[in-house]
Structure 1
C-alpha cells in the first residue's frame, strides 16, 4: 500500500520533489545574490534604468525563494538554508566583480534560462505525482520568466 503525505501525495514522489525543489531553492538564492550585487555595483550610462530593474528582479526572486521554501515544507521536507549548501546544489554560478550592464544582463539571462530548464523538470515530475500545488507554482514561474527573458534579450538587442 502506498503511503501518503498529510496532503494526500505519495511520500516517495514528494521526497523526490523536495530534493529537486531544494536544488531550485539554491539556484534562486544564488540568482538573487547575483541580481543584488548587480544592483549595488552597476556603473555606466545605463545605471539608472538597470539599477531599478535589478532591484525589481531581486525583489521578485526573494519572494520566490520564500515560496519555494514554503512549498518544500508543505511537502514535508526541510528547505536548505546554508550558503554552503546553496553553492553545492545550485545550477547557477556565483557572479563576482561585474559592473558592466550588458555583462550583468547576460549573466541574469543565463540564470533565468537555467531556472526555467530546471522548473520544467520539476513541473513534469509534479504532474506525474499529481502534485497540483508544485505544478502550478512552476507553471506560473515559467510563464513570468519566459516574458522576462524576452524583455532582457530585447533590451540587449
Structure 2
C-alpha cells in the first residue's frame, strides 16, 4: 500500500518514528542552545553568545522542516515536551556558564544528531524516499562541518 507521495506505507511509518525521535532531539538541543546563549559568561562571551544564537535559530528552522516531513509522510509530529523528553537521546543541560563546557555540550549534541540523521538517511534510501534523503543529506553536511569547526575551536 502506498501513501499520498507514493511511498510504501510501512516504510514511511518507520521513517516517521525515526523523524519524530530526531524532532525530539532537535527540540531539546534547541532548548540547550537557548540556555547556553542566555547563560554563557567569560572572556569568549561575545563570540559564543552570537554563535549559540545562530545555532538555535538554525535548529528552530530544522524543527519545522522535520515536523513538516513527518506530516508529508502522513504521520503526526510530536509536539509536547513530555513526548520530547521520552524520545530524545539528548540530555537536558542546566546552568552551563563556562564557554568550553558549552562548546562540549554542542559537540556532544551534534554527535547524537548526526548519528540519527545517518540512520534516517539509510532508511529513507531503502524506502526510495528522495525527499527525506535530500533533507538528511543536507543536515549531515552541515552537522559534520559544524562539528569540525567546534572541535577546532577547542584546540
TM category, shorter: over 0.9
Q: CA deviation at 1:9?
A: 0.2
User: Structure 2 matches for 1:135-150, cutoff 5 A?
Assistant: 135-150=133-148
Matched residue, 1:128: 126
- Count of aligned pairs between the two proteins: 155
Equivalent position of 2:22 in the other structure? 24
| 1:56 aligned residue | 54
Q: Distance in 2 between matches of 1:122 and 1:49?
A: 33
- Give 1:126 shift: 0.2
**Counterpart Cα distance in 2 of 1:133 and 1:142:** 14
- What pairs with 1:96-135 in structure 2 (closer than 5 Å)? 96-135=94-133
- Listed one character per residue, the Cα deviations across residues 20-58 of structure 1 (whole Å, up to 9, x for unaligned) are 000000000000000110000000000000000000000
Q: Distance in 1 between matches of 2:68 and 2:4?
A: 15
TM-score by length of 1: 0.98
Per the TM alignment, residue 91 of structure 1 is displaced from its structure 2 partner at its CA by 1.0
Could you give the per-residue CA deviations for residues 104-133 of structure 1, whole angstroms, max 9, x where no partner exists?
110110000110001100000000000000
1:67 matched residue in structure 2: 65
Shift of 1:61: 0.4
Report the Cα offset of residue 63 of structure 1.
Answer: 0.3
State whether structure 2 residue 154 is matched by structure 1 residue 156. yes
Question: 2:94, 2:101 → 1: CA distance?
Answer: 11
Q: Of 44, 48, 52, which residue of structure 2 is paired with 1:46?
A: 44
User: What corresponds to 1:12 in structure 2?
Assistant: 10
Counterparts of 2:130 and 2:86, CA distance in 1 = 29
Equivalents in 1 of 2:152, 2:4: separation in Å? 45
User: 1 CA distance for matches of 2:137 and 2:108?
Assistant: 19
